[in-house]
Structure 1
Amino acid sequence: METQALDFPKIDAVLRANGTGEVTINGTSHAIEAADEAAVLSQTLRLITETAVQLGRPVKVNTTDPDGQGLIIVSPEGTVSEAAPAKAAPHRQQHAAPPKGRAAAPAPETAALEEQQTTLAAAPATFSAAPRTQEPATTPGTTAAEPRIRSSLKDTSFLISAPALEPATRGWRGALSRLGLKMNPSAEELAEREDVRTVSQHWPGPRTVAVVNRKGGANKTPTVVMLSAILARYSGAATVAWDNNESQGTLGWRTEKGAHDNSVLDLIDSSQTLLSPSAQAAEIARFVHHQTADKYDVLRSDENDEGDHEVTAEEVDIAHQVLTRYYRLIVMDSGNTARAANWRRMIHHTNQLVVPVTAIEDRAEAARLTLQTLQSRGGHDAELAHNAVVIVSESTDARHSMTGDALKRAKDEARRIADAFTPHVRAVVRIPYDPALVNGPIRYDALQPATQRAWLAAAAAVAKGF
């Protein structure tokens, strides 16, 4: 069918992340909007098939979706297939022209290569469960000096360790797979599958993540919420987000409130009961606030009107001991004072450091100084800084009124800051702007698909440190 398809007419089919599509035939654009992706794909293929019917032959279609680009063939009968990649012209080494009337002999290295390829192509492929040893050649009337040595069955297995690759599920590749042409996933889809696998794993023993930046407005609380939500959703591990602000934090303002007003101080007061051998797992619910959609709990900071209590290092130890009894993962929000006793004790318990920063100069500088402070302390603190994950979010300042040029500058600034941190930490991830992260309670499902994907990559980078 492909040999009948010509480059005319020029057809481009686009599937966008927002669920809309567009088909352009020789410069004439047809916008496509439908209830869901399946309907968009159906309308797209209908337009292309109608063009093939009018021409009486298959047509080539350049496809574009969030995962990349491709080339397919659509027949007048509506049959869809993937176009074979263009074959590169064989590279021939230049040699001097042979004398007139004589055929040119191949260069020695070329002849050897062609002979080797011919031999390999002619030889049948063989498979064996285990390597066999070379048997010595014998002549008629003689016997081998020693019997053939057999390999151990311990070194042989018929099990296939690598899982089968599932067909593509997204974009044009996914559409073709659903039509019966099983397509391999794109590089982007494979990367997402790997991130899902990483955040879905369980790890031995509890893990503590500290989210730190000495500057306010650096996106600490949204980072705590998103990491907690993704890791809890995918891994199923009991997860708690703990507001370890030395006085009053804002984590409770950005998350759901339970049917009580208890905070970290109430948990500390009841620590002996919660740590007793007779305590039951469900008792922790009296002190934390469950997030019904995102499947993690929140331990709020003290919110009394006087605000006269500062959490001590000893209280951090007690709360951490309680939480590791009931949770596999603790994600800690923090205040802005790296010298505070509770901040330093939090670092003592930390397994993975996360440094969020909005793409604004002073926030980035504060993040750098935070890492520098930990590095200067040496030991465990310096190791955390070296293996930190930096999460750079695009600026939200006056975003709703930004022009196209201003938006590009914001992205460029986020990229510049991310590139500057890259040589100094284990991983750097950039997060696009999303209005769902600006005000009110934060929900994973409220984010745009591109933002969800970026936070999944961030959570995978964090989980790799477990």
Structure 2
Amino acid sequence: MTDAQITINHDGTGSVTVDGETTTLAASGAVEARQEATARIAKRAAELGRPLPATATESGRTWPLLIGTDGTVTPRPQEDAAAARPSTVSAPSVEIPDAQADLDVTRSRPVTGQPAPSWEQPATDPIISEVPGAQDDLEATRPRAIATEPPAAPRHSAPAPQTPSPAVDQGSPVDELHTFREVQSDVHSSVAPTQQNESQHAPGPDTGPAVVDPPAAPDAVDADPRWSDISQQPAAHGFRGTLNGMGLKLAPTDEELAVRRESLRQEIAREEEARRADEQLAQEEAARETRRAIRERAAAEKDRAERAIIQTPFEEPKKVIIANYKGGQGKTTVTYGIGATAGRIRGGDVIAWDANETQGNLGFRAKKAPTARSVVDLLEEAADDFTTVEGSKRSTLARFTRSQGDNLFTVLASDESRDRQDLVDADAFEKVHEILGRFYSLILIDTGNNHRVSHFKAALEAADQLVVPVSAGADGAHAAEAMLDSFESLGHGDLVENAVVLLNDSATRRGDATGIAAKFQQRVRAIIPIPFDPALDSGDEIDFDALQAPTRAAYQEATAAIAHGLAGTKEG
């Protein structure tokens, strides 16, 4: 039977002929071409169920081979090769010392699974100093050496006694076939199941279906493009490294290649670990961005909804009283915060009235006016002007109020004289309330602490919405509960049920906010916490722009809750 023919050129081109059918090879290099040729012949061997003889030719040299069904490459005796080779082709006869011993070593040598970059792979390293011209031969025969020139023509040696030799002749077919043997592992993954494997896995009478081993995962080092360059770099360690330091270019030993392989494997593992860490960080950042985006969308939607309810138009003026029987609960700061929030969002149309029966603080903490006029001045100097159409002018009222600039609301302060403030009784309250209602649709009334005075009772009767500030202490909550009980007994249970409680946090007092909230949970419509803000703690004039964002947001939420209650009340 005629051998299968393999022809390989150093640039990776060539051909393989099996059963008279020739296939052109165009691989990236000689190693890849050898692998492809071996795989094609092994595939045909598997189809026939027997090994196929083959003759490989590369750079003028010839190797008689036997390629098994599983891609195993073994040498053929020279006489078998000569019988199978066409009569028109003759190969030079080469005498090899102890060739049979080398052949036995070759047959028992384990497959490395890594294709060698050259056809030659001697079993032992030649001793350079003992072989004439060994340096040139070594570069051509060293495993995975950097090939700079095509292999030289084989040198023929004279017959020698059958004794062990320290060096193997470069043209030895025994060593040359190592190249084919070391491509076996690459063939296994590309050839159909062999007859041997089929017999091993074939189901017997008492066994189930055949089990086929899955293909092994590719080695990470072999898949890395850097390994091709790293593996072919000249030796840098040991005796070969020393010689390379003298100008030679000897390939590395298997041990040095193993060290390089492990080093690259560790580097790949570190890179993979870093990649996974970066990927994890990116995923966590994306998750944070997603959560942040969700929060921002929710906050934007909440802001739009709150602003919309605060901008609710009222057909009649609405009165909101801010009350707690106990002082120091934050009534004045709450009044200002709600006034500024409503004024900015409604675009004006808001006034805050300090209706404290004694000297109140709203005028002191609000933005100052050129003249310190008060509600008492309004009653004494201009009350009669508002009894006629001609005298009922907003400009007249503006002489006694204090504009709060960008906050777009106005303050009507109590009198700085306690004696004069006593002039504001129930009748005076009704008169001022009627005048303010002509020009403002939202009136905020900052009450005092004495619920027994007539103007407090008048404010309660006029109220459309109740706001109850409570500080962090238990005493303020107790006073607020007592006030709500009193309002209910006076027939204002609907005002209590619709009330909004604002829990003012404090930097100096620590109370049970949860416990305080629980006291009002079933009694009022809304409970909203107001965080502590240093800008409000000084007691000076309030700069609303200086408040922290959470504080302004809390006042907007409170103002929206108030407006929601007002939108549900009957007009008039």
Q: Displacement, 1:267?
A: 1.4
Which of residues 297, 301, 304 in structure 1 aligns to 2:410? 297
Secondary structure of the residue that 1:429 maps to in structure 2? strand
Does residue 527 of structure 2 align to residue 428 of structure 1?
yes
Q: With structure 2 as the length reference, what TM-score do the two structures score?
A: 0.48
Pairing partner for 1:450 from 550, 559, 572: 550
Q: 1:437 to 1:71 in 2, by over 3 A?
A: closer
Higher relative contact order (CA 8 A, sep 6+): 1
Structure 2 distance, partners of 1:419, 1:331, is 27
The residue that corresponds to 1:241 in the other structure is 352
1:370 to 446, 464, 483: 483
Q: Letter of the 1:430 partner, please give it.
A: P
Aligned residues: 290
Deviations, residues 256-309 of structure 1 (Å, cap 9, x unaligned):
121112111121221221342123322211010111131111111111275573
Letter in 2 for 1:389: V
1:442, distance to aligned residue in structure 2 (A): 1.5
| CA deviation vs aligned residue, 1:87-125 (integer Å, no higher than 9, x gap) | xxxxxxxxxxxxxxxxxxxxxxxxxxxxxxxxxxxxxxx
Contact 2:359 2:418 in 1 (8 A): no
Residue in 2 that maps onto 1:274: 386
CA distance in structure 2 between the partners assigned to 1:247 and 1:375 by the alignment = 26
SS of 2:284's equivalent in the other structure is strand
Measured after TM superposition, the shift of residue 455 of structure 1 is 1.1
CA RMSD in angstroms, aligned pairs only: 2.5
Percent pairwise identity: 32
The one-letter code matched in structure 2 to 1:250 is N
Residue correspondence of structure 1 range 1-400 to structure 2 within 5 A: 55=275, 60-63=282-285, 70-71=287-288, 172-173=292-293, 186-269=297-380, 270-278=382-390, 279-304=392-417, 306=419, 309-378=422-491, 381-397=492-508
Tell me the residue number matched to 2:105. Answer: none
Q: Is the CA contact 2:376–2:423 (under 8 Å) kept in the aligned structure 1? A: no
Instruction: Please give the per-residue CA displacement for 1:346-402, whole angstroms capped at 9, x wherever unaligned.
Output: 111111010101010111111111111000111xx222112111101112426xxxx
Answering whether residue 516 of structure 2 is matched by residue 417 of structure 1, we say: yes
Q: Is the 8 A contact 1:202 1:237 kept in 2?
A: no
CA 1:305–1:461 in 2, change beyond 3 Å: closer, same or farther?
closer
CA distance in 1, matches of 2:340, 2:323: 18
Paired AA for residue 443 in structure 2: I
More deviation, 412-421/232-241: 412-421
Unmatched segments (≥5 aa) in structure 1: 1-50, 64-68, 73-81, 83-170, 174-182, 399-409
Aligned partner of residue 62 in structure 1, secondary structure:
helix
Q: Secondary structure at the match of 1:454?
A: helix
Instruction: Tell me the equivalent position of 1:463.
Output: 563
Contact 2:470 2:503 in 1 (8 A): yes
Cα offsets for 1:144-202 (capped at 9, x unmatched): xxxxxxxxxxxxxxxxxxxxxxxxxxx942xxxxxxxxx89533332232112221222
Change (3 A) 1:310 1:395: farther
Output the CA distance in 1 between the equivalents of 2:497 and 2:295. Answer: 37
State how far apart, in whole Å, the 2-side matches of 1:423 and 1:220 are.
23
Query: Aligned with 1:267: secondary structure?
Result: helix
Deviation at 1:62, TM superposition (A): 2.7
Letter in 1 for 2:372: D
Classify 1:447/1:272 alpha carbon distance in 2 versus 1 (closer, same or farther; 3 Å). Answer: same
Distance 2:406 2:517 in 1: 31
**2: CA distance, partners of 1:318 / 1:215:** 27
Q: Give distance in 2, aligned partners of 1:70 and 1:190.
A: 21
In structure 2, the CA distance between the partners of 1:184 and 1:299, relative to structure 1 (3 Å rule), is: closer
How far 1:421 moved relative to its partner? Answer: 0.9
1:377 partner letter = L
Q: Secondary structure at the match of 2:470?
A: strand
1:315-371 alpha-carbon deviations (Å, 9 max, x no partner) = 000000100011111100011011110100011111101010101011111111111
Cα deviation for residue 217 of structure 1 reads: 0.2
Structure 1: how far apart are the matches of 2:318 and 2:451?
21
Measure, in 2, the Cα distance between the counterparts of 1:353 and 1:290: 24
Tell me if the contact between 2:359 and 2:421 (Cα under 8 Å) persists in the aligned partners: no
